[in-house]
Amino acid sequence: MIIDSHAHLFNEYYDNIKDVLDRAKAAGIIKVVNAADTIASCKEVIDNANKYEDYYFCLGIHPENVDEDINELEKLIEDNKDNPKFVAIGEIGLDYYWTKDNKDKQIELFENQLKLAEKYNKPVVVHSREATQDTIDILGRYNITVYIHCFSGSKETADIYVKRGYYIGVGGVLTFKNAKIKDVIKDIPLENLLLETDAPYLAPTPYRGKPNEPAYLLETAKFLAEVKEESLENIDQKILENSRKIFSI
């Protein structure tokens, strides 16, 4: 039994989310934490969590959507602050891969959401792409629980995150042939790891190239067990504990 700590089960990607959740459950993936990326998707995940028992959600604006309205986000957070399925602020962060031209805006949006996390006492789910140093510097100024999703950084970066007690998300990339991240993940303590699909993206081997879904997380879990030289049962149990702890579920 494990929890998929990061997915995007949105209506635009799946015809029938109920079926996706049923397949997940049959594969031992008992809950799915869905991260929003726009105001529209925030509303959608709230709605889906009302419909589906094992559907949990995070509210946030992704760095690729810097023009979204933070005030509207805060209102949604306020309205849902006592909803037990609202588990984190996310997916937020910095992404300099596509463009650096709006760096200042990205940083402002990121910090404003980190302040919301402090105010509402929620963990944050962070996306960081080609922006490691800024991510490290900015997060260092806040006293919040951090989950670095889809981690692809160096050993040095992992060391900094582990020292700060951050959680590090391991996804389908770990199962790709010649994935350099294997050596980095191997040295990260199990207490700091979470398993995630990032569905519909980054399907693990042998589903690589297909739309991803939470049921496939089992493949990544098997791979992680190999990399960490632990039994699958042990991996499942520890990762489940970590997910329950960070999200209070």
- Between CA 37 and CA 244, with CA 51 as vertex, the angle to 5 degrees is 65
Structure tokens at 202: 């980054």
| Minimum CB distance to Ni ion smaller for 66 or for 228 | 66
Distance (Å, whole) CA 212 – CA 245 = 25
| Minimum CB distance to Ni ion smaller for 60 or for 228 | 60
The backbone torsions φ and ψ at residue 176, rounded to the nearest 5 degrees and listed phi first, read -75, 145
CB of 187 to Ni ion, least distance (A): 24
CB of 198 to Ni ion, least distance (A): 5
| Minimum CB distance to Ni ion smaller for 117 or for 228 | 117
Stretch that binds Ni ion, among 50-58, 190-198, 209-217, 235-243 (CB under 5 A): 190-198
Stretch that binds Ni ion, among 81-89, 168-176, 196-204, 225-233 (CB under 5 A): 196-204
Strands (E), 75-227: 86-95, 124-129, 146-148, 167-170, 193-195
Asked if 213 touches Ni ion (CB under 5 A), the answer is no
CB of 226 to Ni ion, least distance (A): 24
Structure tokens at 224: 């992680």
CB of 5 to Ni ion, least distance (A): 11
| Minimum CB distance to Ni ion smaller for 198 or for 213 | 198
The backbone torsions φ and ψ at residue 92, rounded to the nearest 5 degrees and listed phi first, read -120, 170
Asked if 198 touches Ni ion (CB under 5 A), the answer is yes
At 112 the three-state DSSP class reads: helix
| Minimum CB distance to Ni ion smaller for 35 or for 228 | 35
> What interhelical angle do 132-139 and 155-163 show, nearest 10?
10
- Catalog residues that contact Ni ion under the rule CB under 5 A: 198
